[in-house]
Amino acid sequence: MNKKEFSKIRSHLGKTQKQMAQLLGVSLKAIQSFEEGWRKIPVHNERQTFLLLALKKDILSVASPCWSVKKCPRECKQKCPAWEFNAGRICWFINGTICQGKAQISWTKKMQLCRKCGVFKSVLSSVAPQKRQS
């Protein structure tokens, strides 16, 4: 997550920097530093920010579970934590999910896949970067 994406999500959530700091359990200075690009956004704050966005958009009740979207075979579903915990609408939030046939452990590598996936894209759809006009 970069500074622009973080700032757009915070705005979409309708939160001030101070309110966002309270939600994430960090200082106001940390939020300011994230948005200015002075500090990298820690993984746990990135994950929580995406979760708050998904909750705000009510993704949990409207999205299709990942195993339906991706048409996962039964043997993959049975090994996958998203299936085990019935979290197919927020599979991107859970490490160790079975994507592309193997467990995705690293958050950074997992998010590279997730950002290309329709399940996660539905979360970001309202805060997607605007195309520049020529």
Q: Tell me: do 52 and 64 sit in the same domain.
A: no
CATH number of the CATH domain containing 37: 1.10.260.40
**87 is a domain residue:** yes
Q: Is residue 39, in this structure, part of any structural domain at all?
A: yes
The confidence score (pLDDT) of residue 63 equals 80
Please give the chain's pLDDT, 134 residues, in tens: 999 999 999 999 999 999 999 999 999 999 999 999 999 999 999 999 999 999 998 887 878 899 998 899 998 889 999 999 999 999 999 989 998 888 888 888 899 999 898 888 888 886 765 443 43
Pair (51, 81) in one structural domain: no
User: What is the C-alpha separation between 1 and 34, in angstroms, rounded?
Assistant: 10
Q: Could you tell me if 115 and 79 lie in one domain? A: yes
Instruction: Specify whether 44 is located in the same domain as 71.
Output: no
pLDDT tens for each residue of 86-98: 999 999 999 899 9
Q: What is the pLDDT of residue 86?
A: 92
Distance CA(71)–CA(66), nearest Å, equals 8
Long-range contacts of the stretch 99-105 (C-beta < 8 A, 24+):
99/70, 101/76, 103/79
| Domains held by the chain: number | 2
**Three-state DSSP string of the chain:** CCHHHHHHHHHHHCCCHHHHHHHHCCCHHHHHHHHHCCCCCCHHHHHHHHHHHHHHCCHHHHCCCHHHHCCCCHHHHHHCHHHHCCCCCCHHHCCCEEECCEEECCHHHHHHHHCCCHHHHHHHHHHCCCCCCC
Instruction: Assess if residue 134 is contained within a domain.
Output: no
